A and B are shown apart, each in its own frame.
Chain A
Amino acid sequence: EVQLVESGGGLVKPGGSLRLSCAASGFNFHSYTMNWVRQAPGKGLEWVSSISSSSNHIYYANSMKGRFTISRDNAKNSLHLQMNSLRAEDTGVYYCARDGAAAGREFDFWGQGTLVTVSS
C-alpha cells in the first residue's frame, strides 16, 4: 500500500524557516517524481515544487523560487521542503504527492498534509 506521511509543520514567525518532510513507503520511491502541493485555508490547490526521481529536474512555482528548496533522499525514501523567508501567505496545508507514470503529470497518491502557520 502506498503511504505518504508528511511532518514538520507548525507555527513560525514571518521571516522564519521550516523544513517539511515526507516519508514514503509501499512503492519504489527512487523511481518516481515527487511533488509538494499546498492549500491555503479555504482556498484551492497550489502546486509548489517537483523533483524528478534522480533529482536532476527540479521545478518551482514562481512565488516560491529563491525561498523554497525541494530535495529527496532515495536511500531513506524521504522527500523534503526547506522553506525560508516565510510569509503570512505561505500559511496552509502542505501535501506531498506522487507523480504518476502517465503523460500528464497527474498526482496519483497524496499524503494527509501538514499544517504550516506563519504568524507573529
Chain B
Amino acid sequence: QSVLTQPPSVSAAPGQKVTISCSASNSHMGNYFVSWYQQAPETAPKLLIYDNSKRPSGIPDRFSGSNSGTSATLDITGLQTGDEADYYCGAWDSSLSAVVFGGGTKLTVL
C-alpha cells in the first residue's frame, strides 16, 4: 500500500482540463515537497513538477501543481492526445528516510 494515494484513472476530452490528486495516508502532506512525473508507455518517467509547483525548463505551463497541506494536485489544461500517459506523484518522507510514490494515475484523453 502506497503512502501516497492517487486515483487509478482520470479522463477528459481534448482541450479540457483535468486534475489529478495525491493524498498522504500519514497526514504528512504539509511537510512534503511533491514532485509529479509523466510516463508514456514503454518510456522512462519524466519530471513535470517539483517542489509542489515549480516547472523544469521545457515543461509547458499547461502543467501546474499545488499542495494545500492535505493533498497535492496536478492540473493539466488544454489537454492533448499526447498527454495520455501515467502520472505519478512522489516526495521525500524524512520520517521514513525514503522517497514515496503514489500508485499512479492513467490519463485517457477521450
Residue of A nearest to B99 (CB): A47
- Chain B neighbourhood of A37, CB < 8 A: 45, 99
> Is A104 interfacial (CB 8 A cutoff)?
yes
Smallest CB–CB gap between A87 and chain B, Å? 19
- Chain B neighbourhood of A110, CB < 8 A: 44-46
Size category of the A interface is 20 to 34
> Is A32 interfacial (CB 8 A cutoff)?
no
Smallest CB–CB gap between B22 and chain A, Å? 12
- The complex places the Cα of A110 from the Cα of B47 at a distance, in Å, of 9
- Chain A neighbourhood of B47, CB < 8 A: 100, 106-109
> Is A95 interfacial (CB 8 A cutoff)?
yes
Smallest CB–CB gap between A55 and chain B, Å? 16
Asked whether, in the complex, the Cβ of A45 is within 8 Å of the Cβ of B45, the reply is yes
Given that A100-B50, A111-B44 are contacting pairs, would A106 and B35 also be in contact in the complex, using a CB cutoff of 8 Å? yes
Given that A104-B34, A107-B35 are contacting pairs, would A47 and B100 also be in contact in the complex, using a CB cutoff of 8 Å? yes
> Is B60 interfacial (CB 8 A cutoff)?
no
- Chain A neighbourhood of B90, CB < 8 A: 45, 47, 106-107
Residue of B nearest to A103 (CB): B33
Smallest CB–CB gap between B9 and chain A, Å? 13
Listed in ascending order, the chain B residues whose CB lies under 8 Å from chain A are: 2, 32-35, 37, 39, 44-47, 50-52, 54, 56, 86, 88, 90-92, 97-104
Given contacts A44-B104, A102-B54, A107-B37, 13 further A-B contacts (CB under 8 A): A37-B99, A45-B45, A45-B104, A47-B101, A59-B98, A62-B98, A100-B50, A104-B35, A104-B50, A105-B91, A106-B47, A109-B47, A113-B44
